């Protein structure tokens, strides 16, 4: 079996993941809580629906903010060779992508407000089948990776 790609993401991506996940857990918890609140009007129900929602939110916060980010960070790897981009990710369902540069159609960098606050960016490499994203790279490193991938894709098409 091929060894894992060598490059890791910037460690600050863990904070970005935590902030994103905290926002989503809060939004979903509020929506579920608003849907569960009318149940309290039923006889003999009491406040248990909201207690269950709050307990689920606490468990979700612990899992997604404390447990998963370090594991997710350790599992996320990438490497650029002369012929392909190699990406490995996943905790339970591990995925490994080898993207030949001859298939690459487009490369981009993306930066939302949370990534921008941390000085990070994501690189996307698009093929005809799918877009592959490498999240959480330092902004300068993301631009260099994007440019290198675009150049290697251009050279691969010229060789054909």
Q: How many CA atoms lie within 13 A of 3 on its CB side?
A: 3
In this prediction, residue 40 carries a pLDDT of 84
Query: What CATH number belongs to 77-159?
Result: 2.30.29.30
What pLDDT score was predicted for residue 160? 64
All structural domains of the chain with their residue ranges: 9-73, 77-159
- For residues 18-29, give the mean pLDDT: 97
What are the Cα distances from residue 50, in Å, to 44, 45, 129?
14, 11, 44
- pTM score above 0.95: no
């Amino acid at each position: 079996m091929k060894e894992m790609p060598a490059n890791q993401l910037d460690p600050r991506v863990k904070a970005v993941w935590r902030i994103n996940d905290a926002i989503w857990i809060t939004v979903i918890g509020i929506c579920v809580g608003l849907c569960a609140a009318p149940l309290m009007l039923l006889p003999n129900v009491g406040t248990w629906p909201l207690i269950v929602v709050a307990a689920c939110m606490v468990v979700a916060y612990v899992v997604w903010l404390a447990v998963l980010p370090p594991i997710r960070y350790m599992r996320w790897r990438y490497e650029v060779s002369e012929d392909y981009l190699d990406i490995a990710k996943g905790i339970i369902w591990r995925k490994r992508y080898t993207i030949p540069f001859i298939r690459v159609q487009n490369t981009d960098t993306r930066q939302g407000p949370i990534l921008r606050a941390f000085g990070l960016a994501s690189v996307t490499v698009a093929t005809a089948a799918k877009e592959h994203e490498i999240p959480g790279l330092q902004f300068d490193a993301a631009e260099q990776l994007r440019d290198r991938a675009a150049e290697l894709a251009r050279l691969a098409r010229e060789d054909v």
